[in-house]
Structure 1
Amino acid sequence: MGDSIGPRLYSCYKCRNHVALHDDIISKDFQSKSGRAYLFTHVRNVFEGPEADQELITGLYTVSDVHCTDCREVLGWKYDKAFEESQKYKEGKAVLEKFKIVKENW
């Protein structure tokens, strides 16, 4: 019927700051401590906390928390370094927890 109003977006659940595009999702099969999470090629309007080495389900990583720039809520994490060769594809990518993002323009 007509043109869509723009790209499908994800926003911070607290303040509605736009943090990711639906087209940037690589995988919806990620798990966080609190449930489902999505892996994105890149996210926007966020800043990263300090890096820390963390043992996750698939191995050891250097990760940093991803915070909303507007309300400072932690929305997920970024993979800064993967130590397992098979997990290197995650480097530089971010995971956002599903319950902390809301759909816009759907």
Structure 2
Amino acid sequence: MIDLHGKIYSCKHCKTHLTKDQDIMSKTFQCKHGQAYLFSEVVNISIGNKEDRMMITGLHTVTDIFCVGCGSNVGWKYEVAHDKSQKYKEGKSVLELCKIFGPHDSNDLVCQQISELLIQE
């Protein structure tokens, strides 16, 4: 396991470090439960099987990513973007804010509240 320092995002369930604030590439992504961030680098994860998914921005080959600490699904990684305009996503990971702790912006409070409800289920 890799320990990170600074402003850290970690797994909501087990607190395993996943990435740093400075690795955020975009805060405009969406997931089933709300907001998500695109990160250039994520650590302490395992990767699921590749599958093609039709997303808002077109067809992508992705893998789900899981926390190595507890096995929770925390997001997905882009393996192949089939549209040329989306190639910048390849090799990058999306973490769902509802599944992580971190130095979220104040407008992310709704997602944090949703995640609290999901954990209680």
Q: Check if 1:81 corresponds to 2:80.
A: yes
Q: Gaps spanning 5+ residues in structure 1: where?
A: 1-5
Cα deviation code 1:79-102 (max 9, x no counterpart)? 000000000000000000001110
TM-score after normalising by structure 2: 0.80
Structure number with higher helix proportion: 2
**Identical aligned pairs, as a percentage?**
48
Q: Which residue of 2 aligns with 1:54?
A: 53
Q: Which has the higher contact order (CA 8 A, sep 6+)?
A: 1
CA deviation map 1:39-91 (0-9, x unaligned): 00010000110000010000000000010001000000000000000000000
SS in 2 for 1:16: coil
Q: Per residue, is there more strand in 1 or in 2?
A: 1
How many angstroms apart in 1 are the aligned matches of 2:31 and 2:56?
10
After TM superposition, the runs of 4+ consecutive aligned structure 1 residues lying more than 3 A away are none
**Unaligned runs of at least 5 residues, structure 2:** 104-121
Paired with 2:102 and 2:33, the residues of 1 have a C-alpha distance of 19
Structure 1 residue 7 displacement after superposition: 1.0
Q: CA deviation at 1:33?
A: 1.1
What is the distance in 2 between the residues matched to 1:63 and 1:71?
A: 21
TM-score (norm 1): 0.91
Question: For the aligned residues, what is the CA RMSD?
Answer: 0.9
